[in-house]
Amino acid sequence: MEAWSAERVRSLCLSLPGTEERFPFSPELSVFFVEDKMFALSALDDHPLSVSLKCDPEHSLYLRDTYPAITPGYHLNKRHWNTVVLDGSVPDDLVVDLVHESYDLVVAGLPKYRRERLAAGSGQ
């Protein structure tokens, strides 16, 4: 698998239906939204690169106990958000799954009509 780069993180997040990248906090912090709800944040110029993702609270605790590179979300609700340092210590497929999980958690919290609009737009 290729190394994590800013472009790879951006491409992964933007590949999910209805997502867009915005910079509401600072020009250096990419925030990825679905239906005006954020699901991923990353300072794409940082080294090492990291991404903050929404996560089920119980799964968050397991991940933090298992991977030193996964910590409570920086400047976020630490019960629901993790920050993942993309230093190669977390398997690539897990990082992809965590991005998808974050997106899915946010979508699941949307009103039904917004979820249906997303599903219709993605061809599902």
Q: Look at residue 53 and tell me if it is in a domain.
A: yes
Within a domain: residue 122? no
Preceding peptide of 48 cis, ω within 30°: yes
User: Is 98 inside a domain boundary?
Assistant: yes
Query: How far is it, in rounded angstroms, from Cα 71 to Cα 14?
Result: 24
Contact 116, 18 (CB under 8 A): no
The pTM of this model reads 0.92
Per-residue pLDDT of the chain (124 residues; tens, 9 = 90+): 457 999 999 999 999 999 999 999 999 999 999 999 999 999 989 888 999 999 999 999 999 999 999 999 988 888 899 999 999 999 999 999 999 999 999 999 999 989 888 888 765 5
The answer to the question of residue 102 being in a domain is: yes
Q: Is residue 24 part of a domain?
A: yes
Domain count, the chain: 1
Query: Exposed (0-12), middle (13-18) or buried (19+): which is 40, by Cβ within 10 Å?
Result: buried
CATH of the domain at 86: 3.90.1150.30
Quickly tell me which residue has 């933007």 as its tokens.
14
Structure tokens at 76: 């976020």
Domain ranges, residue 55: 6-115
CB 13 within 8 A of CB 99: yes
Tell whether 121 is covered by a domain. Answer: no
